[in-house]
Homo-oligomer: A and B are copies of this chain.
Amino acid sequence: MTGQRRLGLALDIGGTKLAAAVVDQSGEIVAAHRVRNPQGTDADVLFAALTSAADAALESAGITPGDPLLVPAIGVGTAAPMDLQAGTVSPVNIPAWRSFPLRDRLSGHYQLDVGLIGDAVAVAVGEHWRGAARGHANVLGMVVSTGVGGGFVLNGRVVVGATGNAGHIGHMSVDPDGPDCVCGGVGCLEAIASGTSLAAWARQQGFSPGTETASADAVADAALTGDAIALAAFHRAGAALGLAIAGAVTLLDLDLVVIGGGVAAAGQLLFDPIQAAYSRYAALGFAHRPRIVPALLGGTAGLIGAAAVALDPLAYWPTEAGRFVRS
């Protein structure tokens, strides 16, 4: 990434929103466009919405797909799961796409290579490239919001796993006798510590700030005023997160853990019980090193991480390193 300015096209595909951005090689967003996920069952309608967002971002940046400033690849962070070998995606919360050939459709449309990573992996990559994990070689990045997702950078390279689905820390069991999870598992981190689960547990315990559908935000607000149930809900979620993080660090000898997402915005309310549980369950000497810190990039992390796939393929290209051929 020397010489003239280079630009990457990044896409972030979620259950409610589709986002596209043109990002420069320093990680700055030059232009971005965001549209609602059309929510239907027509695969092509959804694909057209995605390309319209991408086209709008390109147009705002004043470039075309053939522009020599654009690197010859698109980086995509997508809701999971995917099949990296086939280049297909089947996002749980996007019923329009089942084994949808996203890689081939995008590369056919734009005549560019396409690198796919999971949306939470893209957040981890974004934080590694330009955020709180910058300069650290071995990182777990997490998103704690309506769900719990994650991604790893190890030895400076993204970890995608055999099928592109590495990083699913939300579906690691942290309690052999814990609650059933929507995935079919038992005691999954997400079934305890997601915003959805946290709020549901609080309501089950009698938390009722005037609404039957109190959100994690409402629980956080109540916790800050000393509400005992709300505090217990954050303690329970933090304890589960701390145990899962302890497991990941013990397995992988990490340098840093970065946590973003709406629930993590609660700050010390969540990070204090995380740290307490982490210290309890990560006792080996090398596990005392890594810090657990808040994310820095907020909602743009996924786009920046997806751009990194296109702009720094040796580190972030989600197939065998170096497969990407520079033009």
Establish whether residues A254 and B162, one from each chain, have CB atoms under 8 Å apart when the complex forms: yes
Chain B minimum-CB-distance residue to A290: B162
| A residues 145-192 touching B (CB-CB < 8 Å) | 150, 152, 154-157, 159-169, 171-176, 181, 183-187
Chain B minimum-CB-distance residue to A84: B253
| Complex contacts, A181 vs chain B, CB 8 Å | 283
Contact of A251 among B160, B162, B175, B251 (CB under 8 A): B251
CA distance A206 to B62 in the complex (A): 77
Instruction: Say yes or no: is A37 at the interface (Cβ < 8 Å to chain B).
Output: no
Instruction: Say yes or no: is A25 at the interface (Cβ < 8 Å to chain B).
Output: no
| Complex contacts, A162 vs chain B, CB 8 Å | 137-138, 253-255, 286, 289-290
Total number of A residues with any Cβ neighbor in B under 8 Å: 54
Q: Which stretch of A239-247, A258-266, A299-307 is in the interface?
A: A239-247
Establish whether residues B169 and A250, one from each chain, have CB atoms under 8 Å apart when the complex forms: yes
Smallest distance from the beta carbon of A290 to chain B beta carbons, Å?
8
Instruction: Say yes or no: is A284 at the interface (Cβ < 8 Å to chain B).
Output: yes
| Complex contacts, A183 vs chain B, CB 8 Å | 283-284
Binding site of A, secondary structure by majority: helix, strand, loop or mixed?
loop
| Complex contacts, A155 vs chain B, CB 8 Å | 157, 159-160, 320-321
| Complex contacts, A110 vs chain B, CB 8 Å | none
Instruction: Say yes or no: is A81 at the interface (Cβ < 8 Å to chain B).
Output: yes
Establish whether residues A251 and B176, one from each chain, have CB atoms under 8 Å apart when the complex forms: no
CA distance A243 to B152 in the complex (A): 21
Smallest distance from the beta carbon of A135 to chain B beta carbons, Å?
12
CA distance A186 to B247 in the complex (A): 12
Additional 8 contacts, C-beta under 8 A, given A154-B161, A175-B175:
A156-B320, A159-B252, A166-B251, A173-B243, A181-B283, A183-B284, A185-B246, A185-B280
16 sampled A-B residue pairs with Cβ under 8 A: A81-B285, A138-B161, A152-B252, A162-B253, A166-B251, A166-B252, A167-B251, A172-B246, A173-B247, A181-B283, A183-B283, A185-B246, A185-B281, A186-B280, A186-B281, A251-B251
Nearest first, the 6 closest Cβ-Cβ pairs linking A and B are A161-B253, A184-B283, A185-B283, A166-B253, A165-B286, A172-B247
Chain A interface residues toward B at CB < 8 A? 81, 137-138, 150, 152, 154-157, 159-169, 171-176, 181, 183-187, 239, 243, 246-248, 250-255, 280-286, 289-290, 320-321
